[in-house]
Amino acid sequence: MQRPNSLGHLSVIIIFMMVMILPLLGTLLYSISTSWSSGLLPDGITLKWYTSLFADHRFLQAMMNSVLVCLGALLLTLVLVVPTAFIVFYYFPFLKPFMNFIILLPFAVPPVVSSVGLLQIYSNDVVTLTGTPWILLGAYFTVALPFSYRAIANNMANLNLQDMLDAAHLLGASTFRAFFTIVLPNLKTGLMVSLFLSFSLLIGEFVFANILVGTRFETVQVYLFNMKTRSGHFSSAVVVSYFLIIVLMTILAGQWGKKQ
């Protein structure tokens, strides 16, 4: 296909990338500079902000907390959403529009609103979940739900579940067994891609983590927020380390997507 003005398109994309990368580039340079008071470039290059960051027990703990709570929430999402999507698609296809509707609810109810209710419901003498990571598992499930359900449902729509299950039943497998040995392996690629993308989404979550749990189980976002009074170089090192996780997750998602 002949692309007549691809030079124009090329320059648009290059300008877009150059502008969008500015905040990242500035942060990266700031995180490796001794000081940067004037001029185009920093006064000197150093890795001391990173060494002090990775020697900070609180930072490592926050990283660990973030990874743990994100993995936990993703596991919960997977365990709840995959069977649900299967049951809806195989047994009750008439529920599909209803599901498409209810997964929009998290968009209409932002985290700060849910937090108002969650704080009232789960911090009393009977149930005290606030201040513990457990409440984040449930809250993060709602954050990841729209994206993971959409990804899984799109994959299932391409599977021809009815024929697949009929064949399995004919060969004597139960629906239960067919789900684990046929449906799940067929969903694997889509699941992995949506997992990596949801991980990037969840590790960037701040509002729930700050309001519901705060410093009692500090995630990396809350840590960064609480470090705002420390040197800008130091917080830049946190931002860069955090962004590297996103880069890693996006690349992993891309690699899995290619396998399809």
Q: Show contacts with another protein in window 160-199 (CB under 8 A).
A: 175, 197
Is residue 39 within the footprint of another protein (CB under 8 A)? Answer: yes
Residues 59, 62, 66: CA angle, nearest 5 degrees: 140
Is residue 30 within the footprint of another protein (CB under 8 A)? Answer: yes
Binding residue for another protein, selected from 78, 184, 246, 252, defined by CB under 8 A:
246
From 44-52, 60-68, 96-104, 153-161, give the range in contact with another protein by CB under 8 A: 96-104
Binding residue for another protein, selected from 69, 111, 155, 215, defined by CB under 8 A:
111
Is residue 146 within the footprint of another protein (CB under 8 A)? Answer: no
Query: What Cα–Cα distance (Å) separates residue 10 from each residue in 4, 19, 21, 157?
Result: 12, 14, 16, 36
Binding footprint of another protein, residue count (CB under 8 A): 87
Is residue 47 within the footprint of another protein (CB under 8 A)? Answer: no
SS3 per residue for the chain: CCCCCHHHHHHHHHHHHHHHHHHHHHHHHHHCECCCCCCCCCCCECCHHHHHHHCCHHHHHHHHHHHHHHHHHHHHHHHHHHHHHHHHHHCCHHHHHHHHHHCCHHHHCCHHHHHHHHHHHCECCCCECCCCHHHHHHHHHHHHHHHHHHHHHHHHHCCCHHHHHHHHHHCCCCHHHHHHHHHHHHHHHHHHHHHHHHHHHHHCCCHHHHHHHHHHHCCHHHHHHHCCCCCHHHHHHHHHHHHHHHHHHHHHHHHHHHHC
Is residue 44 within the footprint of another protein (CB under 8 A)? Answer: no
Is residue 239 within the footprint of another protein (CB under 8 A)? Answer: yes
Is residue 90 within the footprint of another protein (CB under 8 A)? Answer: yes
Q: How far is the CB of 124 from another protein (least distance, A)?
A: 12
Q: How far is the CB of 155 from another protein (least distance, A)?
A: 17
Q: How far is the CB of 74 from another protein (least distance, A)?
A: 14
Minimum CB distance to another protein smaller for 97 or for 185:
97
Binding residue for another protein, selected from 65, 66, 142, 155, defined by CB under 8 A:
142
The pair of three-digit structure tokens given for residue 165, joined into one six-digit string: 């299950």
Is residue 102 within the footprint of another protein (CB under 8 A)? Answer: yes
Q: HSE on the CB side for 167, CA within 13 Å?
A: 9
From 55-63, 64-72, 87-95, 150-158, give the range in contact with another protein by CB under 8 A: 87-95
The pair of three-digit structure tokens given for residue 152, joined into one six-digit string: 């899984």
Is residue 229 within the footprint of another protein (CB under 8 A)? Answer: no
Is residue 66 within the footprint of another protein (CB under 8 A)? Answer: no
Q: How far is the CB of 46 from another protein (least distance, A)?
A: 16
Binding residue for another protein, selected from 3, 57, 125, 171, defined by CB under 8 A:
3
